[in-house]
């Protein structure tokens, strides 16, 4: 049986940048083991599976190469790009609404995940840490400046041992129009470094909104591929905005 998937580059307006995801539209979800095998075969940071449940309503699930996850921003953006906006996705993190925003951005209404101060859980091998905390999902380390974030070569074994679900490193922006820079490492999820991580910005948005004193921000994820995430902090919710482009299509025989 052929399985058709669309390859999408998310949080970018050009191909071969941002964060790639695969999106598969189905009539019903197959066995979980099959979806996990497909995600492992593609070896992208996320593969998204969608099932239509009514006009502008879909169920949505996300898989890394090794596990199903509770929330993924860039694969949600990719799915909205494929199925069209406005759309509501039913997920393990509740209902996620996507719509067209200013400048034709796709905007996603996500739960906020503000970090709370926490002790550094061990020697992370990431240099001087100015502040450390964690949200429900991820740990966050504030470094001295954007250059420290950009130059960082992390000890992934230490990150895996100390930050089971992933580590965000961040600093204030270093160029006009960019309020913060970040990188994200999740070796335990089969993602040594994620190119652009929407769900990490559920933590970055309230963190930097408090420091900058305003809710509307723009973040740059400074991975080798790079990407831009627009953020609006709104109490218990965060609106994340980005662009996406279709990079290709693939057919798997399952």
Q: How far is CA 67 from CA 34, 39, 46, in A?
A: 12, 9, 10
Q: Residue 110 and residue 132: Cα distance in Å, rounded?
A: 23
Q: What share of the chain is helix, strand, coil (3-state, %, to 5)?
A: 20, 45, 35
Q: Residue 112 and residue 163: Cα distance in Å, rounded?
A: 20
Is the Cβ–Cβ distance between 233 and 217 less than 8 Å? yes
Six-digit token pair at 248?
């290709």
Of 4, 27, 28, 46, catalytic: 46
In the residue annotation, 193 being an active-site residue is answered as no
Is the Cβ–Cβ distance between 242 and 227 less than 8 Å? yes
Is the Cβ–Cβ distance between 50 and 40 less than 8 Å? no
Q: Residue 73 and residue 78: Cα distance in Å, rounded?
A: 9
Q: Residue 23 and residue 47: Cα distance in Å, rounded?
A: 6
Q: Are strands 191-194 and 68-69 parallel, antiparallel or unpaired?
A: unpaired
Active site residues: 46
């Amino acid at each position: 049986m052929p399985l058709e998937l669309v390859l999408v580059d998310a949080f970018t307006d050009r191909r071969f940048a941002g964060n790639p995801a695969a999106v598969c539209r189905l009539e019903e979800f197959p066995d979980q083991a099959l979806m996990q095998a497909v995600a492992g075969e593609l070896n992208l940071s996320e593969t998204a599976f969608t099932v239509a449940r009514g006009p502008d309503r879909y169920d949505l699930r996300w898989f890394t190469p090794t596990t199903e996850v509770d929330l993924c921003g860039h694969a949600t953006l990719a799915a909205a790009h494929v199925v069209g906006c406005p759309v509501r996705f039913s997920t393990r993190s509740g209902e996620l609404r996507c719509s067209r925003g200013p400048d034709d951005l796709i905007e996603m209404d996500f739960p906020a995940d503000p970090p709370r101060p926490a002790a550094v859980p061990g020697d992370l091998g990431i240099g001087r840490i100015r502040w450390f905390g964690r949200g429900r999902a991820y740990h966050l380390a504030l470094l001295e400046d954007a250059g420290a974030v950009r130059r960082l070569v992390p000890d992934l074994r230490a990150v895996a041992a100390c930050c089971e679900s992933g580590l965000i490193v961040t600093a204030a922006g270093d160029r006009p129009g960019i309020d913060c820079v970040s990188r994200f490492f999740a070796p335990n999820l089969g993602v040594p470094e994620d190119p652009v991580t929407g769900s990490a910005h559920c933590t970055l948005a309230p963190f930097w909104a408090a420091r900058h004193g305003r809710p509307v921000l723009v973040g740059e994820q400074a991975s080798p591929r790079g990407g831009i995430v627009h953020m609006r902090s709104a109490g218990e919710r965060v609106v994340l905005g980005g662009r996406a482009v279709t990079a290709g299509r693939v057919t798997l025989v399952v």
